[in-house]
Amino acid sequence: MATKPEKRNWLLEYAPHIIIPCIGAVLAVGAWILIELYRMNASEAKMDAKLNENSVRIDRIAAVLPDVRIKIAKEELSKPISVAVVVRDPAKTTKGKWITAVQVIDNVAKTQSTYALPVNGPDDKEIGWLTGGAATDSDSEAVSFKLMSAWSSDSGVPSWSPSDVLVQSSFVLRKPSTGFSLRLAKMYLDRGATVQVNALNTDKTSTYMKLIEDLSKNPVDYSALSIKVDAKDANK
């Protein structure tokens, strides 16, 4: 009499081949998310460390004598600017979406590029962190608008940025690495930005004091940016 074939339990036999790869995929995705969060936090920490290092170094020198502090402040304010990056507070478009405006004022190329980048809301500061990190990576001596404002007070001629400028994320660069403005453009465009490029009168933006005066006289036209952003979204 023939032996009856043993009935195979397909679920028990093949379950490990299905479950183990699924677990591996979930772990890989989780690891990728953790790595991205680490990179973002590391970039922010790196930018803060560079800013603190520059500020502390100059404060130590200037603290010796008040006259030294005033002299340093005046020298810093009079140094020519190669590129300035101005990050603005998020604003809402006519369609209810949030955008952040970033101005890249390139005195070498004699252009001013105004980017409108989509953000998640009024408290989304990611664009500011990325911009600050890019600025300090490109020029180790890049100076934030916050520190420049403090120097203007030390010089006896206080000069404050417009109220919607994020002073900790906005920078002046004297010696940016080659291609800095182009790298910023790619970073912004990859994040869905619209851009408007205008010719620049560098006589009005050659130093920090002149730049602040020009920014105060020529606020960002959020209505025009809103129209461009909404039109781009409508054409998707």
Per-residue pLDDT tens for 215-228? Answer: 999 998 888 888 77
**Averaged pLDDT, 114-132:** 94
- What's the pLDDT score for residue 18? 59
- What's the pLDDT score for residue 19? 59
Q: What is the pTM of this model?
A: 0.73
- What's the pLDDT score for residue 164? 94
Per-residue pLDDT tens over the stretch 45-72: 555 555 565 665 556 555 556 677 788 8
Please say whether the beta carbons of 121 and 98 come within 8 A. Answer: yes
Please say whether the beta carbons of 213 and 87 come within 8 A. Answer: no
- What's the pLDDT score for residue 89? 94
Per-residue pLDDT tens over the stretch 80-119: 999 999 999 999 988 888 999 999 999 999 999 999 999 9
Q: Residue 98: what are its φ and ψ, rounded to 5°?
A: -100, 135
